């Protein structure tokens, strides 16, 4: 039982809650000599592997450290530019650490608001009148279940493709939302959810489900 994430989208389409759960951390460190046998692309925000996949470092991974020093985007923690360090022959051999890129909160918000019209389009494309929107979206590596309440709030769950019983779990999350979010007098509707009780109860629910 693996659940990768939970998202809640408000009725106006904004992401009001997201939780990454149990996403395995993939990180690989390796020593490289000059010339580098990976093709890297330096864009303005990160250093990405574009070609030359090996030793667990795959295309799409992002540079996270040089010689044990963390890299934030394109600069090292000590202020040096990652591109300059990598291109300078005298720095070799170099220990480079790569990891799978993590989605930033901004990217998640964009994705959530992209899902919103997709959901609406699905219901309009339907050959039958009065169809619901997307309830499940399946891929090779994950399954997305979506449950929309009568008030228009969407609960989205990302899980392993083989996962069963996600509809029931979504309803339980809805119950938690009704209890710990809406009954919290200091929560204003449609705003991002920052309720610790909700977090802990949700976490407990997910762990309990994953055990069985």
Partner 1 sequence: SSELLTLTYGALVSQMLRDFENVDDVNKQLERVGYNMGMRLIEDYLSRTNSLRCHDMKDTADKIQQAFRMYLNIQPTITNWATTGDEFSLIFETNPLAEFVELPSDIGNLRYSAILCGCIRGALEMVQLEVQSWFAQDHLKGDGNTEIRVKFIRRLEDAIPAGED
Binding site for partner 1 (CB under 8 A): 11, 119-120, 122-124, 130-133, 148-153, 171, 174-175, 177-179, 182-183, 189
Cβ at position 145, least distance to partner 1 in Å: 14
Nearer to partner 1, 12 or 105 (CB): 12
DSSP conformation class of 161: T
Nearer to partner 1, 34 or 174 (CB): 174
CB neighbour burial string for 101-138, b if at least 16 within 10 angstroms, e if fewer:
eeeeeeeebeebeebbeebeebeeeeeeeeeebbeebe
Nearer to partner 1, 54 or 183 (CB): 183
What distance in Å separates the CA atoms of residue 49 and residue 68, rounded to the nearest whole number? 19
Cβ at position 166, least distance to partner 1 in Å: 16
How many helices (H) and strands (E) in the chain? Answer: 4, 12
Nearer to partner 1, 4 or 119 (CB): 119
Cβ at position 161, least distance to partner 1 in Å: 23
Cβ at position 4, least distance to partner 1 in Å: 23
Nearer to partner 1, 171 or 194 (CB): 171
Q: What is the DSSP string of 171-188?
A: HHHHHHIIIIITT-TTPP
Cβ at position 108, least distance to partner 1 in Å: 21
Q: Please give the radius of gyration of the chain, using alpha carbons only, rounded to the nearest integer.
A: 21
Residue among 121, 105, 117, 93 at smallest CA distance from 34:
93
According to DSSP, the β-strands at 75-76 and 3-9 are unpaired
């Amino acid at each position: 039982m693996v659940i990768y994430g939970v998202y809640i989208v408000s009725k106006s389409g904004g992401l009001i809650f997201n939780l990454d759960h149990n996403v395995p951390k993939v990180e690989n460190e390796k020593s490289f000599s000059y010339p580098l046998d990976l093709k890297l692309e330096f864009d303005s925000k990160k250093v990405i592997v574009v070609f030359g996949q090996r030793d667990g470092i795959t295309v799409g991974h992002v540079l996270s450290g040089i010689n044990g020093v963390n890299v934030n985007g394109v600069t090292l923690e000590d202020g040096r530019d990652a591109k300059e360090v990598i291109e300078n022959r005298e720095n070799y051999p170099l220990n480079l650490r790569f990891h799978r890129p993590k989605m930033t909160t901004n990217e998640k918000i964009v994705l959530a608001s992209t899902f919103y019209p997709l959901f609406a389009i699905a219901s309009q494309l339907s050959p039958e009148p009065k169809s619901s929107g997307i309830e499940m979206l399946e891929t090779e590596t994950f399954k997305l279940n979506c449950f929309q309440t009568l008030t228009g709030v969407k609960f989205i769950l990302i899980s392993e493709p083989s996962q069963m019983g996600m509809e029931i779990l979504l309803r339980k999350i809805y119950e938690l939302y009704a209890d710990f979010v809406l009954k919290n007098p200091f929560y204003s509707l449609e705003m991002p959810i920052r309720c610790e009780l909700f977090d802990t109860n949700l976490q407990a629910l997910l762990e309990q489900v994953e055990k069985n």
